[in-house]
């Protein structure tokens, strides 16, 4: 049986954990799912280890209780809030003239070493943008090629060591050791875009609770990643302040009535135009507010996030390489956000995308809030990954898919020779040929003796 993994998405609003493994057909098999509310986490970073540990333990325990399988590895997401990226290159000579996994590992390791990462940060992904073999440029897969020199141009994603250490400490209460860290936006990207989008170049905006993460993906590589430190919780805060209502009441209003489409455009006899909310400091008293006041507040905050994201892409110098924009994450559920994004990005196709729906008996993955956790499963269970040094500085390579063992067939003895012959016609034909040859040999011997006697 294949190995089981535990994937944990540590978000600001919720923590999701899943136990899964590949079956014999190389399809992801969900074994257990756990979810809990996040405490002690702000902007994707742990600010209270005790509270965060308890939240993570609750989610993990639920998932583990659903699955008796032993956990072989643990994949954990890390927010881009404390990450940095930098480009580097490396080169080696190939004395044998034949490029193997060993040479690919060496050249990526040299690119990592030459990047001169500051001591406070640690590499979690060393992703090749392209390889070069002798004078051949832009090679995606140099494995088994012949050449005397191998070069790589790589994107190195680093994370603050203290952030990684805090996550490891929070997981100790559940007796879990992290096998790999994966950038959240990286996971969301591989869970939401298709092959053509991967090849041509797509920007993915994961619009979360306290942050909005950005990643540009092209040719199975992340070219760029960044973050806007604003998310849907800021909408909740805006509503709480402007409506003078508690945060939990503001969150309910946002969840139930948030929209970027003016109410006048969808007004009908069943449309709710006013709601009652408690007053901050005197929650026993309710006041009535018009939903027309809510729409402009939400519109302003979402537009700010999209405009800041656009500025990040422009400053990256890669805006012109983008052939599509994908919106995912909880905020992408707000009605009208796709229309607003098309106005902010007038010359780029925009679409809302949920993660690839893994069929299972536990949960429907057709939900934008689950993009990161689905991406973690794909990352951990991909048997044919693109070359990359992971957070353990190990080269990710193609895994051999275990073959399903054929059931052993025990042949029963059968006294009826006729039935035995009918069950194996090919063998019986061979036996018949042998018998005929034996008869011919005997006849030939008798005839020879008869000739000698004559």
Q: What is the mean pLDDT of the chain?
A: 86
pLDDT for the residue 25: 82
Across 149-164, average pLDDT: 96
Please give the Cα distance from 221 to 218 (Å, whole number).
5
Please give the Cα distance from 401 to 407 (Å, whole number).
18
Element (DSSP H or E) covering residue 342: helix 337-344
Given a cut of 50, is residue 450 above it in pLDDT? no
Given a contact cutoff of 8 angstroms between Cβ atoms, the answer to whether 19 and 4 are in contact is yes
Counting every residue, how long is the chain?
A: 454
pLDDT tens profile 89-117? 999 999 999 999 999 999 999 999 999 89
Please give the Cα distance from 331 to 204 (Å, whole number).
13
Please give the Cα distance from 257 to 291 (Å, whole number).
8
CATH number listed for the domain at residues 84-159: 3.30.1490.110
pLDDT tens profile 111-123? 999 998 999 999 9
In the chain, list all ranges with CATH 3.30.420.40: 194-352
Given a contact cutoff of 8 angstroms between Cβ atoms, the answer to whether 155 and 221 are in contact is yes
pLDDT tens profile 393-428? 999 998 766 555 544 444 444 444 444 444 444 444
Rg, Å, the chain Cα set: 31
pLDDT for the residue 23: 86
pLDDT band for 68, please (50, 70, 90 cuts): confident
Question: Pick from 299, 297, 300: which is nearest to 239 by CA?
Answer: 297
Given a contact cutoff of 8 angstroms between Cβ atoms, the answer to whether 160 and 118 are in contact is no
In the chain, list all ranges with CATH 3.30.1490.110: 84-159
The two structure tokens encoding residue 81: 């809030």
Q: What is the largest CA-CA distance in the chain?
A: 133
Helix 232-243 / helix 294-316 crossing angle, nearest 10 deg: 150
CATH number listed for the domain at residues 194-352: 3.30.420.40
pLDDT for the residue 173: 84
pLDDT tens profile 197-224? 888 899 999 999 999 999 999 988 999 9
pLDDT for the residue 219: 85
Given a cut of 90, is residue 283 above it in pLDDT? no
The two structure tokens encoding residue 254: 């946002």
């Amino acid at each position: 049986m294949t190995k089981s993994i535990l994937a944990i998405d540590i978000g600001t609003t919720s923590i999701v954990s899943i136990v899964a493994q590949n079956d014999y057909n190389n399809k992801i098999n969900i074994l257990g799912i756990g979810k809990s509310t996040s405490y002690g986490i702000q902007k994707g970073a742990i600010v209270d280890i005790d509270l965060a540990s308890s939240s993570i333990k609750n989610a993990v325990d639920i998932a583990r209780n659903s699955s008796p399988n032993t956990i072989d590895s643990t994949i954990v997401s890390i927010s881009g809030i404390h990450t940095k990226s930098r480009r580097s290159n490396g080169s080696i000579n190939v004395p044998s003239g034949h490029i193997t996994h060993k040479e690919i590992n060496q050249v990526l390791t040299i690119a990592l070493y030459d990047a001169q990462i500051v001591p406070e940060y640690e590499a979690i992904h060393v992703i090749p943008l392209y390889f070069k073999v002798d004078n051949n440029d832009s090679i995606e897969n140099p494995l088994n090629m012949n050449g005397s020199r191998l070069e790589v141009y790589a994107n190195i994603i680093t994370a603050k060591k203290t952030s990684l250490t805090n996550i490891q400490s929070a997981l100790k209460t559940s007796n879990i050791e992290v096998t790999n860290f994966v950038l959240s936006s990286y996971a969301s990207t591989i869970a939401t875009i298709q092959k053509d989008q991967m090849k041509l170049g797509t920007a993915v905006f994961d619009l979360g609770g306290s942050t909005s993460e950005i990643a540009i993906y092209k040719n199975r590589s992340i070219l760029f990643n960044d973050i806007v430190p604003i998310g849907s919780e800021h909408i909740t805060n805006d509503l709480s302040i402007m409506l003078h209502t508690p945060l939990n009441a503001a969150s309910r209003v946002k969840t139930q009535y948030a929209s970027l489409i003016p109410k006048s455009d969808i007004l009908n006899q069943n449309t709710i135009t006013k709601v009652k909310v408690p007053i901050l400091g005197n929650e026993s008293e309710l006041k009535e507010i018009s939903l027309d006041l809510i729409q402009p507040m939400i519109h302003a905050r979402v537009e700010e996030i999209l405009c800041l994201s656009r500025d990040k892409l422009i400053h990256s110098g890669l805006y012109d390489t983008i052939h599509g924009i994908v919106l995912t994450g909880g905020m992408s559920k707000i009605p009208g956000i796709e229309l607003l994004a098309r106005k902010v990005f007038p010359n780029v196709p925009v679409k809302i995308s949920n993660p690839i729906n893994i069929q299972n008996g536990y949960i429907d993955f057709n939900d934008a809030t689950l993009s990161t956790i689905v991406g973690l499963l794909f990352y951990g269970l991909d048997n044919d990954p693109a070359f990359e040094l992971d957070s353990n500085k190990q080269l990710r390579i193609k895994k051999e898919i275990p073959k399903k063992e054929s059931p052993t067939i025990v042949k029963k003895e059968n006294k009826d020779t006729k039935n035995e012959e009918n069950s194996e016609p090919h063998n019986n034909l061979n036996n018949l040929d042998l018998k005929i040859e034996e008869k011919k040999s005997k006849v030939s011997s008798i005839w020879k003796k008869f000739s000698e006697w004559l």
